[in-house]
A and B are shown apart, each in its own frame.
Chain A
Amino acid sequence: MQQHTILLVTIIIMACVALPFLFAASAAKDKGPQVGWLGYGAQRSLVAAMLVVGVAVTGISLAVWPHSVSAGPARQVVNVTGHQWYWEIEDVRLVTGSPVVFNVHTEDVNHGLGVYDADFRLIVQIQAMPGYLNQVQYTFEKPGKYRILCMEFCGVAHHDMTSEFTVSAAKS
Chain B
Amino acid sequence: MANVATTNNQSKEADALSSVALLLAGAVFLLMMIAGLLMRSAQGKLIDLDPTLFYQLMTAHGAGMVGAAALSGAAIMWLFLGRHVSLNKLAFKAFLALFLLGVVLILYSIFVGGFGGGWTFLYPLPAHSGGVWETAAAATFLVGLLLVGAGFLVLYFEMGRAILVRYGNLSQALAWPLVFRGKMETVPPPTIVASTVIVIFNSVGTVVGAATLAISLINLFVPTFEIDALLAKNMIYFFGHVFINASIYMAVIGVYEILPEYTGRPWKVSRPFAIGWSAVLLFVLAVYPHHLLQDMVMPPWMLVMGQVVSYLSGLPILAVTAFAMLGYVSGSGMKWDLASALLFLGVFGWSVGVVPAIIDGIISINKVMHNTLWVPGHFHTYLLVGEVAMSFGVMAWIVRSKQDVALFSGLQRAVFWTYVVGALGFAMVFLTSGAASVPRRWAVHAPEWIMQDRIATLLGIVTLLSAVYFVTRFGSRLASGERK
Contacts and interface: CB of A to CB of B under 8 A. Distances in A.
Contacts of A7: 431-432, 434-435
Contacts of A157: 51, 130
Given A29-B334, A58-B311, A10 B439 contact: no
B372 interface: yes
Interface string B245-284: 0000000000000000001000000001000000000000
Interface string A93-117: 0000000000000001110101010
Given A109-B122, A156-B52, A28 B363 contact: no
Contact of A129 (B295, B304, B443): B295
Interface string B229-258: 110010000000000000000000000000
Q: Which of A21, A123, A133, A158 has the most CB of B within 10 A?
A: A21
B329 interface: yes
Interface string B275-318: 00000000000000000101111001001100110011011001
Given A3-B368, A7-B431, A67-B363, A156 B331 contact: no
A133 to B, nearest CB: 8
Interface residues of A, number: 78
B448 interface: yes
Nearest to A121: B437
A70 B354 CA distance: 34
A33 B331 contact: yes
Contacts of B315: 47, 50-51
B367 to A, nearest CB: 6
Interface in A21-46: 21, 23-25, 27-35, 38-40, 43-44, 46
Contacts of A61: 307, 362-365
Nearest to B344: A25
Contact of A156 (B51, B333, B356): B51
Nearest to A122: B437
Interface in A69-113: 84-85, 108-110, 112
Contacts of B325: 24
Q: How large is the interface on B (under 10, 10 to 19, 20 to 34, 35 or more residues)?
A: 35 or more
B326 to A, nearest CB: 4
29 contacts: A3-B435, A10-B359, A13-B359, A17-B322, A27-B329, A34-B332, A35-B331, A43-B319, A44-B272, A46-B323, A47-B315, A58-B307, A61-B362, A66-B364, A109-B124, A109-B125, A114-B439, A120-B437, A120-B446, A122-B439, A125-B294, A125-B368, A129-B233, A129-B295, A129-B297, A134-B296, A155-B116, A156-B130, A159-B444
Nearest to B444: A159
B216 to A, nearest CB: 13
A62 B294 CA distance: 15
A12 B167 CA distance: 44
Given A3-B436, A50-B314, A156-B55, A14 B295 contact: no
Contact of B125 (A28, A39, A151, A154): A154
A144 interface: no
B332 A31 contact: yes
A9 interface: yes
B102 interface: no
Highest count of chain A CB atoms <10 Å: which of B330, B432, B448: B330
Listed residue (B132, B326, B431) with the most chain A CB atoms within 10 angstroms of its CB: B326
B132 A155 contact: yes
B367 A66 contact: yes
B129 interface: yes
Interface string B359-383: 1001111011111100000000000
Contacts of A20: 326
Nearest to A67: B296
B355 interface: yes
Most interface-central of A24, A54, A121, A132 (chain B CB within 10 A)? A24
Interface of B: 51-52, 55, 116-118, 122, 124-125, 128-130, 132, 228-230, 233, 263, 272, 292, 294-297, 300, 303-304, 307-308, 311-312, 314-315, 318-319, 322-336, 344, 348, 351-352, 354-356, 359, 362-365, 367-372, 431-432, 434-437, 439-444, 446, 448
Contact of B371 (A14, A112, A116, A159): A112
A158 B161 CA distance: 46
Contact of B368 (A14, A110, A122, A131): A122
B355 A13 contact: yes
B436 A28 contact: no
Given A34-B331, A46-B318, A125-B367, A159 B230 contact: no
Contacts of B233: 110, 129
A18 B314 CA distance: 14
Contacts of A136: 296
